[in-house]
Each structure stands twice: as structure tokens, then as C-alpha cells.
Amino acid sequence: MDIEGAKPPKPVKEKKTYTKDQIKKELALYRKFIRDHQRKKRIDIIKIAIGTIICGFFAVLFLLPIVLTITNSFMASSEISSNYGAIFATTETGGKVFVSKTVNLKFIPDIITLSQYYVALFKSPAYLFKFWNSVIYVVPIVVFQLAVSSLASYGFARYTGKVKGVIFFLYVIIMMMPYQVTLVPNYLVSDYLGILDTRWSIWLPGIFSPFAVYMLTKFMRRIPVSVLEAARIDGANEWSIFTDVAMPLCKGGIVSIAILIFIDYWNMVEQPIILLSDDYLHPLSVFLSKINSGEISLAFAIAVIYMVLPMLVFLYGEEYLIEGITYQGGVKG
């Protein structure tokens, strides 16, 4: 027998024995752990349920005006006047009438009719013309503001210097000012340039707005410098780096900013009222802000028509909007 090749015997494990009291103690601890876990799980479920109910309540609260507008747009003129006429009624001198009774908010029309849409789209072309006025104002502002801001933002993000820092700081200050503060300077400048009461008085301040410059600069600063330097090593010039590297990486940010600009200028009211004295040039948003007792029957249908384009823009760019918010820079892969 080869003693050198023999394996040492395995140590025998001693079996641990528990007393009856120890077993009861362990069982009590295990049951307590199970109870605590179940209680914590129930508390988490209750918290989620309460949070869901609160969020659902506010969601319904915010959706009620939209649902009310859409459903009321299918009501007849007489039904709308009987329900909401007291709100818009005026005295002989033009003053408001005290509403002595509760306004009847109806979500389901007695008779469904498309007469309001027919009147708004075919019998009253002025409303449709104001809708296209809104499109004519907003689309150039979005396109050219993004073009100007993308070039400016690339310069702010790519290069450093004291002058650049001062100019960017001025952009931030101007952006923080409410638009009502800059209305008078815009009016004076438009009057000096001779563009008052023209579409240019709306286009020019919108195209050179600092909002998009500030936002796109923040996006472009997230792009790693190594990515831009790698493109330069590969032989790309500055314009190629801007168009082929920086712009694609900021695609989500550009689309999300475009959506915000579109919604902002689609709902503008103060600018056209101050800078445009001719009702012929006013967008549809101005009409919706000046509803009187004789036009409330059309207001709901026109409001629905006015909501269609922003909703389509938002639904199309929702994915890019989320991507733009969560974007951190760099490349995928």
C-alpha cells in the first residue's frame, strides 16, 4: 500500500443540535421577518396606489378643459348660448353682466352637429385665414431661429474667451426677462426700422430670440471634446465637424427645442396685439383671446382646429423630446 499517495480522511462534520427553546426562538424571528416584509410590501402598495390616485386626479383635472372643448364643439349654437351665454353677456355700455346663476358645464351634447366646423371652415374664411396666419408666423420663426441658434451655440460651446463669456451672459439675462418687458423696445425698434404693422415685426424678434441659443449651447457642451478632436484628426474641417458630428449628436435637443419654440409662438397673443394694428394680420390665437358673446358658438370648434397642429407636432416629436431631456452627450454604441 502506497502511503505517500493516500488521501487524508475527510473531517467529520459535527451535527449542530438545537434545543426546543432555540427552535422556537428561530421560528419567532422568521415569522417576525415575514410579517415585517409583508407589512412593508403593503405600505409600498398603498403609497403607489395613493400616488397613482393623486396623479390620476390631476391628469383628469388638466384634461377636463380639453375634453369639454372637444365635446362642446359638436353642440348646436343655441345649446352653447344657453349654457355659456351668461359668461360672455355684456351691458349696453359694454360692461360685464354679473352671473347670478351657476353655469351649466355639459360634456355630452343633446344633439351632435358639425355645423360649427362647417361655419368655421367654409362659411367664415376669416377664421381659416387667421389659422394660416399663425402657420406663416410660426414656421419661419422655428426654422430660422434654429438655424441662427445652432451656429451661435456651436461657437459658444466650441471656443472659449472672455468676450464670449460676456456675450453668453447677456443672452442669459435677456432670456430671463419676461417678454412683456421687451415689448416696448421691440415696438420702438420696429417703428425705427419701418417694419411696424408688418409680419417682419413678429419674425425678427422671434428669429433672434436667445432661448434656443442658451438651450443648444448646453446640449453642445455635453459633447465630449475627444469626439470633435477625433473628427479633426480624420481630416474634417470646422464646417464638417459642425454639420456631420455636432448637429447629429444634438438631434434630440434640436427637435425638443423646436417643439418648445413652436408651442410658445403658436400661442402668442401680446406680440401681435402690440406690433400689429391690422386685424387682417392677426393670428388665430388673438381671436381666441377676444371671444365675445356673438362668437362663442364658433369658439369651441375653432379652438379644436387650433389644437390639432400642436398636438400632431408633439406626438411626432415626443420621442425626440424625451431623448433631448435625457441626453448626456457622446455617441451610442
Question: In this predicted model, what pLDDT tens digit does every residue of 267-287 receive, in sequence order?
Answer: 898 889 999 988 888 898 888
For residues 223 and 246, is the Cβ–Cβ distance under 8 A? yes
Asked if 290 and 171 touch (Cβ cutoff 8 Å), the reply is no
Distance of CA 55 to the CA centre of its chain: 18
The pLDDT tens digits for 7-66 are 565 665 555 666 777 777 777 788 888 888 888 889 999 999 999 999 999 999 988 888
Strand partners, 167: none
Q: What DSSP assignment string belongs to 196-227?
A: TTSTHHHHHHHHT-HHHHHHHHHHHHTS-HHH
Question: Is pLDDT at 100 greater than 50 in this prediction?
Answer: no
What are the pLDDT digits (tens) for 169-228? 888 888 888 877 888 888 999 999 999 999 999 999 999 988 888 888 888 888 888 888
Cell of 22: 432555540
Beta-carbon-side half-sphere exposure of residue 294 (alpha carbons within 13 Å): 0
Please give the Cα distance from 71 to 114 (Å, whole number): 11
Q: What is the pTM of this model?
A: 0.74
pLDDT at 122 over 50: yes
Least confident of 49-58, 118-127, 303-312: 118-127
Mean pLDDT estimate for the chain: 81
